[in-house]
């Protein structure tokens, strides 16, 4: 089991622990209607860390 997150242009949603990405996506669709978001990404905890770390390395800043 891995911890998954849904990332949209409006923020992120912790989806909890799931067997795989497909199970996390099914949960996100059922619970949050994630499929209605214009853009979304389902990632596990490691992938989320890589995204944040790489953005930080590139100097991307919201401020």
Inside any domain, residue 33: yes
The pLDDT of residue 46: 95
Q: How far apart are CA 24 and CA 22, in angstroms?
A: 5
pLDDT digits (tens, 9 = 90+) for 5-62: 999 999 999 999 999 999 999 999 999 999 999 899 999 999 999 988 887 666 656 5
Residue 53 lies in domain: 2-57
| C-alpha distance from residue 5 to each of 35, 50, 58, 62, 63 (Å) | 14, 13, 22, 20, 24
Inside any domain, residue 10: yes
The pLDDT of residue 51: 85
At which residue do the structure tokens 């849904």 appear?
6
Number of domains observed in the structure of the chain? 1
Inside any domain, residue 20: yes
The pLDDT of residue 36: 94
The pLDDT of residue 15: 98
This prediction has a pTM of 0.80
Q: How many residues does the chain have?
A: 63
């Amino acid at each position: 089991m891995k911890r998954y997150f849904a990332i949209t242009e409006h923020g992120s949603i912790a989806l909890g622990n799931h067997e795989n990405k497909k199970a996390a996506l099914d949960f996100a669709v059922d619970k949050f209607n994630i499929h209605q978001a214009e853009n979304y990404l389902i990632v596990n905890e490691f992938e989320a860390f890589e995204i944040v770390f790489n953005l930080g390395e590139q100097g991307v800043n919201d401020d």
